[in-house]
Structure 1
Amino acid sequence: MKNWLKGLNISLFLIAIIGLYTGCAGNQNQFADNTDNANIVKVHTSKPIDQTVANKAKEKVIKGEEISGVKAVNTDKELFLALKIDQFDRFRLKNIEKKVKTDLEKTYPDHKILVSTDSKMYLELGQLEVKLQKDNTKMKTLKKEFNRIKSLMKEKT
């Protein structure tokens, strides 16, 4: 009887190990470099609202391995980026935000750079990008929306 219980315990232990191994082995590609599948939507608008600074900033920032998505909008003197950060890297949000901001300040010294890792800012800038893409937005409206998003950002802090 003792040998039978001992054999049963060993069998259950092996089944548990195999189950854990197959569960963990199935998620191997979860932490793979995701810059291949990161979508950058370049905003092309009419001449009054030029978004080339925002598009170039997106291309530069998305190369970071901890960043999975970027939304950006610029006015004449300001550039606002919202970053989507991978789950594991969310422990280092402030460091990532600071690094991106300093890199962009070196690249675009004539723009005031605002960087946020908040998901609400990411969604708001995404909606603003869609409005700009439709070419219905004027510079005055863009600045108004930009200031509204900035006030939302200040509310958070």
Structure 2
Amino acid sequence: MKKLSIVLLILGLLTGCSEKGTYIKNTTPYDEHSLENVLMSNEHVKLAKVLLYEDELLAGIRVNTFSRFQKKAIANKIQKKLEREYPDLKVTVSADSKILLETEKLINKKSEKNYRKKIDKIKSIEKEQT
């Protein structure tokens, strides 16, 4: 009985760690369904925080542990797919954890007062990394 409960606990922890998540904040008339499909269909993406604001699409992604050495290639592949889906938007996708964190802070911000300035700051951080 004790061994069975330990095995069930370990299985529960492992399934909890494998969940995928996507959070999208959309302030534009663009449909976010195809955006979610692109992100969720990629098996390397573990978490994504996306902001659609005016003519910008800003996405911070976290890849699976075993894919971390291919972060840049995965982000570039997703960015190309999103550029095809949304040709009118300026698409920025990054697998850097700092970009993900800053995007999440911007999404959780109540007012859209300084979004443009914050987006430009996040994009400059992304360019510094490359």
Amino acid at match of 1:116: S
What are the within-5 Å matches in structure 2 for residues 67-106 of structure 1? 67-106=45-84
Q: Percent identity?
A: 28
Q: How does the TM-score come out when normalised to structure 1?
A: 0.65
Are residue 38 (structure 1) and residue 11 (structure 2) matched? no
In our comparison, the structure showing a higher alpha carbon Rg is 1
How many equivalent residue pairs? 123
Q: Indicate the residue corresponding to 1:124 in structure 2.
A: 102
Structure 1 residues 156, 75: CA separation in 2 closer, same or farther (over 3 Å shift)? same
Are residue 142 (structure 1) and residue 107 (structure 2) matched? no
Structure 1 residues 54, 99: CA separation in 2 closer, same or farther (over 3 Å shift)? same
Structure 1 unaligned residues grouped into runs of 5+: 1-25
1:40–1:70: 8 Å Cα contact kept in structure 2? yes
Q: Secondary structure at the match of 2:50?
A: strand
Task: Provide the C-alpha distance between the structure 1 equivalents of 2:52 and 2:65, rounded to a whole number of angstroms.
Answer: 27
Task: Provide the C-alpha distance between the structure 2 equivalents of 1:127 and 1:51, rounded to a whole number of angstroms.
Answer: 22
Q: Secondary structure at the match of 2:22?
A: coil
Q: Secondary structure at the match of 1:155?
A: helix
1:33–1:65: 8 Å Cα contact kept in structure 2? no
Amino acid at match of 1:114: T
Query: What is the RMSD computed on CA atoms of the aligned residues?
Result: 3.0
What are the within-5 Å matches in structure 2 for residues 39-78 of structure 1? 39-43=21-25, 49-50=27-28, 57-78=35-56
